Amino acid sequence: MLIKAVAQAIPTFAMGCFDITKDICDQISKLIGKFWWSSQDRENKMHWVSWEKLTLPKSQGGLGFRDIHTFNLAMLAKQAWRLVHDPTSLCAQVLRAKYFPHGDVLKASSRGGISYTWRSILQGVKVLKNGMIWRVGNGSSVKIWEDPWLPREWTRRPITPRRGCLLNTVGELFDPVTEGWDEPLVRQTFFEEDVRLILSLPTHPELDDVVAWHYDPKGMFTVRSAYKVQRGHDQRLSGAAQERDGFGYEMRGLQQAR
């Protein structure tokens, strides 16, 4: 289809390097929508279906057009993934020396005076965090209460509250003799749902912990998968906002009725 092959492909290179603002993405989407419904540059015809509907997958009644802004974020997440998995590259070394000297791009934060390229990559880091998971090796690099390391859909952190627990890294949950999970310690520390997930994980004390992509069986990142994850994330946020607005409208109605 011409729209997918040309109109939505033209800005791909720029989207892989820079965070195109949502306003610009919306303008591009309007032009694409205008072309879809009129096939002419200067004709304005009725748009019978919203652009949001057209960007839904075909299985959900849409046409599978890309949401430009979401695709932009997915492309930037690919750059963040490269920094995580290829820290010895020249680009990673330069960025690390300037912006995250502690060595962990996942913990880098925005500050004044940074370049627009780095600010864009930080947007990709946010998307990466929505779909990443730590594959536990020796457990020394994975924070029990902060990092995503439990394989489930809605949250990959323990649902057990930390309270006054002194345990910090996943490696502290290993039995030093068997090099497997210290089951009594795990059961003493976590809720049953967390216990079941933790004890089902294999232990590899001889290997380092690695960042993987949760939505791929082999843990490999793809832009297509990141797009779907971010799209679902945005839809959940939009649905939650609509529920809050609806609740507020109902409360105002009740107050006026009084």
pLDDT beyond 50 at 205 = yes
Give residue-wise pLDDT tens across range 124-138: 999 999 999 999 999
CA 126 to chain centre: 6
DSSP helix/strand/coil, 135: strand
Residue 251's pLDDT band (cuts 50, 70, 90):
very low
Find the angle CA(232)-CA(8)-CA(86) to the nearest 5 degrees.
Answer: 65
Give residue-wise pLDDT tens across range 33-88: 777 777 655 666 677 777 778 778 778 777 778 888 999 999 999 999 999 999 99
Predicted pLDDT at 186: 96
CA distances from 254 to 241, 242, 243 (A): 20, 18, 17
- CB contact set of 193 (below 8 Å; sequence gap of 6+): 159
Q: What is the mean pLDDT of the chain?
A: 85
Predicted pLDDT at 209: 95
Give me the percent of the chain exceeding a pLDDT of 70.
Answer: 84
Residue 1's pLDDT band (cuts 50, 70, 90):
low
**Which position has the higher pLDDT, 11 or 40?**
11
How far apart are alpha carbons 143 and 215 in whole angstroms? 21
How far apart are alpha carbons 186 and 173 in whole angstroms? 7
What does the pLDDT average to over 90-113?
92
How far apart are alpha carbons 156 and 150 in whole angstroms? 5
Predicted pLDDT at 28: 83
Residue 210 DSSP label: E
CB of 141 within 8 A of CB of 172? Answer: no
How far apart are alpha carbons 228 and 174 in whole angstroms? 35
Predicted pLDDT at 21: 86
Range scoring the smallest mean pLDDT among 41-55, 62-76, 167-181, 239-253: 239-253
Predicted pLDDT at 254: 45
How far apart are alpha carbons 198 and 135 in whole angstroms? 12
Predicted pLDDT at 2: 56
What does the pLDDT average to over 142-162?
93
